[in-house]
Structure 1
Amino acid sequence: MPDTNYNNIKIGIVGLGLVAEPNLKGYRSNPNAEVVAVCDVDISEAKKFSKKHDIANVYSSYEEMLNSDIDVVNIATPTHLHAPMTMQALNAEKHVHCEKPFCRYLSEGERAIKEANKKKLKIFVGETYLFISSHIKTKKLIDDGMIGTPLQIRMRHGAWNEKPISRINTGPLNRDWRMDPYLSGGGKYPWIFDHAVHFFAIAEYFMQNKKINEVHAIKAHNTNDHSLAGAAHDPYITPVTDIPIITWNYEDKACQGLWCRAERLNGKWDFMQGFSTVVIGEFGMIEVLGEGGNNLIWNGEQQHLILHREDKDPLCFRFEEGGDDIWESDISYYCQGHKNQIHHF
Structure 2
Amino acid sequence: MGNFKVGVIGCGSIAQKRHLPEYQANENVEIVAVCDVVESRAEEMAQKYGAKAYTDYKEVLKLEEVDAISVCLPNYLHASVTIDALNEGKHVLCEKPMAVSLEEAQAMNHAAEWNQKTLMIAHNQRFVSSHQKAKTIIENGNLGNIYSFRTTFGHGGPENWSIDGASSWFFDKEKAFVGAMGDLGVHKADLIRYLLGDVSEIGAFVQTSAKENTDVDDNAVCILKMDSGLIGTLTASWSYVSGNDNSTVIYGEKGMMELENDPDYSLKVTYKNGESVHYSLDKIQTNEAGGQTTTHVIDHFVESVLNERPPLITGEEGMKSLQVILSALEANETKQMIKVSSGNVSFST
Task: Tell me if TM exceeds 0.5.
Answer: yes
- Rounded to whole Å, the distance in 1 between the matches of 2:62 and 2:232 is 48
How much has 1:195 moved relative to structure 2?
3.0
Aligned twin of 1:82: 78
Within the alignment, does 1:65 sit opposite 2:54 as a pair? no
Q: What is aligned with 1:178?
A: 170
**Tell me, what secondary structure is at the counterpart of 1:311?**
coil
Deviation at 1:138, TM superposition (A): 1.8
Q: Does 1:23 align with 2:15?
A: no
Among 296, 305, 329, the residue aligned to 2:262: 296
SS in 1 for 2:189: helix
Corresponding residue of 1:326? 287
Query: 2-side partners of 1:210 and 1:149: how far apart?
Result: 16
Q: Distance in 2 between matches of 1:325 and 1:243?
A: 20
Identify the residue that residue 91 of structure 1 maps to in structure 2: 87
The question of 1:245 aligning with 2:221 is answered yes
Q: Which has the higher strand share?
A: 1
Q: Structure 1 or 2: larger helix share?
A: 2
Q: Pairwise mapping of residues 267-282 of structure 1 onto structure 2 (< 5 A)?
A: 273-282=244-253
Which whole-Å CA distance do the structure 2 matches of 1:172 and 1:114 have between them? 33
Deviation at 1:262, TM superposition (A): 9.3
Counterparts of 1:113 and 1:71 in 2: how far apart (Å)? 18
CA distance in 2, matches of 1:250, 1:194: 22
Gaps of 5+ in 2: 305-349
Q: Secondary structure at the match of 1:48?
A: helix
**1:200 corresponds to:** 189
Residue of 294, 297, 315 corresponding to 2:277? 315
| Cα offsets for 1:234-285 (capped at 9, x unmatched) | xx544788635322223433333342759554xxx7xx84211101122221
**How has the CA–CA distance of structure 1 residues 158 and 103 changed in structure 2, closer, same or farther, with 3 Å as cutoff?**
closer
- TM-superposed deviation, 1:8: 2.0
Amino acid in the other structure paired with 2:184: H
Deviation (angstroms), 1:139? 1.9
Question: In 2 relative to 1, CA 8–249 (structure 1 residues): closer, same or farther, beyond 3 Å?
Answer: same
- Is contact 1:161-1:327 (8 Å) kept? no
Q: After superposition, where does 1:69-218 map in structure 2 within 5 Å?
A: 69-157=65-153, 159=155, 171-173=163-165, 176-186=168-178, 189-191=179-181, 193-207=182-196, 209-217=197-205
Task: Note the C-alpha offset of 1:40.
Answer: 0.6
- TM-score normalised by structure 2 residue count: 0.75
- Percentage identity across aligned positions? 25
Give TM-score scaled by structure 1 length.
0.75
Q: Which amino acid aligns with 1:204?
A: R
Conserved in 1, the CA contact under 8 Å of 2:36 and 2:54?
yes
Aligned partners of 1:241, 1:90: CA distance in 2, in Å? Answer: 31
CA distance in structure 1 between the aligned counterparts of 2:229 and 2:37, rounded to whole angstroms: 48
| 69-78 vs 145-154, greater mean Cα deviation | 145-154
Q: Distance in 1 between matches of 2:69 and 2:169?
A: 22
Distance 1:182 1:161 in 2: 18
Q: Indicate the SS of the match to 1:103.
A: coil
User: What are the superposed Cα offsets for residues 79-108 of structure 1, whole Å, 9 maximum, x if unpaired?
Assistant: 110111011101111111100111111111
| 1:213 Cα offset (Å) | 1.5
Query: 2:5: which partner in 1?
Result: 10
Distance (whole Å) between structure 1 residues aligned to residue 216 and residue 76 of structure 2:
21
Amino acid at match of 2:255: G
Contact preservation (8 Å) 1:306, 1:315 = yes
Q: 1:286 aligns with which of 246, 253, 257?
A: 257
Tell me how far apart the structure 2 counterparts of residues 135 and 101 of structure 1 sit (CA, whole Å): 20
